[in-house]
Amino acid sequence: MTELINGIRNFMKEEDAIGTVEMILILVVLIGLVVIFKDQLTSLLNDIFERISTESMTI
């Protein structure tokens, strides 16, 4: 019985490590996408903020 409980505990510990690895991989992919599309993202955000500021002046 204790072997079963220990087996379940070990399985849960392994799952925590996998979750951490998944989070790190997701962050690496997101950072990579930001680096690759930096110019396009900067241009898009500048356009959005410019549009917000010009439309806020009309209110």
> What pLDDT does residue 6 have?
80
* List of residues 6+ apart from 41 with CB closer than 8 A: 34
> What pLDDT does residue 7 have?
76
Condensed to tens digits (0 to 9), the pLDDT of residues 2-52 reads: 787 887 777 667 666 667 788 899 999 999 999 999 999 999 999 999 999
> What pLDDT does residue 14 have?
67
Distance of alpha carbon 19 from alpha carbon 23, whole angstroms: 6
Going through the chain in order, the beta strands assigned E by DSSP cover: none
> What pLDDT does residue 29 have?
96
